[in-house]
Amino acid sequence: MGSVQDIIDCPMCGDNEAIETIYYKTNEFEINCLRCGYNKSNLIINLDQIKIDLHWIPVYKRVINKNGVAFRYKIKGQNHFVRAGSKRNKINQIISFVKQNKNYLATAEINFKKYGKWVTIDLLKEEEKSILQAMPNL
């Protein structure tokens, strides 16, 4: 599958850290903001029927997630991004991931909006209790 990636301004927070991926052969796309966790996608949901149906027509599902938490970390020189969404158990999974891989992580930060302002927490420096207290009610 052919794709093109570009860095764009996030439609939600305006930061210049959103990654747009366009799959030009299928007309699918994804936008993921590394700062606020904004996610927008237009993906084919019936790919499993392409081999069965001779007259297959793609069915697209568009999803927009405007709120959530963005988790970024760097390990072995590579940057990684996870959109945590707004579920407390996912945040706990991220915290346990950081605990288990603390010796290998160069950076680990989590970004979210609280009271209208952006907050960034360094997960390598903060304690779990203070991280959960700082988080908005999810």
Query: Tokens 């990636």 — which residue?
Result: 5
Q: Which pLDDT score is estimated for 22?
A: 93
Structure tokens at 134: 């700082």
Q: Which pLDDT score is estimated for 116?
A: 72
Cβ-contact 123, 95 below 8 angstroms: yes
Range of the domain at 122: 69-134
Total domains, the chain = 2
Q: Which pLDDT score is estimated for 51?
A: 75
DSSP secondary structure code for residue 10 in this structure: -
What tens-digit pLDDT sequence spans the chain (138 residues)? 588 999 999 888 888 888 899 998 888 999 988 777 788 899 888 888 877 777 888 888 888 877 666 777 777 777 777 766 556 667 777 888 888 888 888 888 877 777 777 778 888 887 777 777 776 665
Does one domain contain both 35 and 15? yes
Does one domain contain both 61 and 100? no
Q: Which pLDDT score is estimated for 98?
A: 84
Structure tokens at 60: 């697209």
Does one domain contain both 41 and 94? no
Cβ-contact 21, 2 below 8 angstroms: no
Does one domain contain both 51 and 87? no
φ, ψ for residue 85, nearest 5 deg: 75, -155
